[in-house]
Structure formats: structure tokens, C-alpha cells
Amino acid sequence: MKPDHGPVHAAASAGGIAFTAALLLIALGLLATTLALPASAAIVPRVVGVPLALLLGYVLAREIRSLTRHRAAGGAVAAASPSAEIGAILWLLALPVLATVLGFVAGPALYVFGWARFRAGERIGVAAAAGAVTAAAIFILFSGVLGVHLPQGVLDFLR
């Protein structure tokens, strides 16, 4: 069962739409700069940038659809609470901390699991599957396809 987050925060949604749109424009701009690069130099930015742009486009469309549906239904609009904003900032900071401590495979996988389970309210099996797919995708893409040695985090130095 997904958690009830109360009334939609229209100001936060409008801000989220603007922020996501800005990130999408930056990602597309960075992808455009790869057009002048040789194919060998452009592979990594494109492998990272194309999925990022697609993900941001999806998030932007979802936010716009959600806000439009909410306004059409005449739903309650409330101001964003400071605790919700602080929670969002803490979740944002958790990814670099986890990646630094646990490494670039385990850190993002644990982050995706936590986000899916505790922020999105998914069942534990779904959250675990999302984390496992994230770990596998990162490992296969960067270590397998690109041959990049990924940092194993601060804990790796403790051995």
C-alpha cells in the first residue's frame, strides 16, 4: 500500500516541473556538445546522457500530468511543509554519501531500494528488485561494456 502524502503541493509541483525542465535542458545541451566529438570520445557522455535525458523527460511528463489532473479534479492545494523539503534534501544528499561509503555499485543500489521502499511505498520485493536491477545495470554498463574500474567506496580501504 502506497503512503498517503496528503494534498498535492501545487507550488512544489510547479517548482519541480521548472527544475526538471531546467535539468532536461542542461542534459540536452550537454548531449549536443558531444556531436562535435569523435565517436570514441563521445561514447561515455552519450551512454550516460541519453538515459538521463529520457528519465528527465519521463519525470517531467509525469509531473505535468499529475499537476494537470489534480487541478482538473479541483483538489486541495497546500503549501509545502518545511519538513517535507528537508526530507527531500536529505534524500538528495544520501546518494553521494552511500556511493562514497559503499561504492558505485552497492551505494546506488541501496539508495534505489530505500527510495522505492520508503519514499514511493513499494512492497519490499519490488524495492529489492529495483535495487538489484540498478546494481546489475551499473556493473554491466560500466565494468562490462565500458571497462571502467568503479570505486568500491571508503569501506574498501578498510580491508
Where among 80, 97, 127 does a domain terminate? 80
Q: What is the percent of the chain with per-residue pLDDT over 70, rounded to a whole number?
A: 82
Write down the pLDDT at residue 78. Answer: 55
Same domain, 65 and 109: no
> Are 122 and 132 contacting, i.e. CB atoms less than 8 angstroms apart?
no
Same domain, 64 and 86: no
Same domain, 103 and 71: no
Task: Identify the segments of the chain with pLDDT beneath 70.
Answer: 1-13, 75-82, 84, 155, 157-159
Domain that holds residue 60: 1-80
Distance CA 44, CA 50 (A): 10
Same domain, 154 and 85: yes
Write down the pLDDT at residue 4. Answer: 46
Amino acid sitting at position 6: G
Which pTM was predicted?
Answer: 0.56
Same domain, 75 and 96: no
Say which residues have a Cβ less than 8 Å from residue 22's Cβ, sequence separation at least 6: none
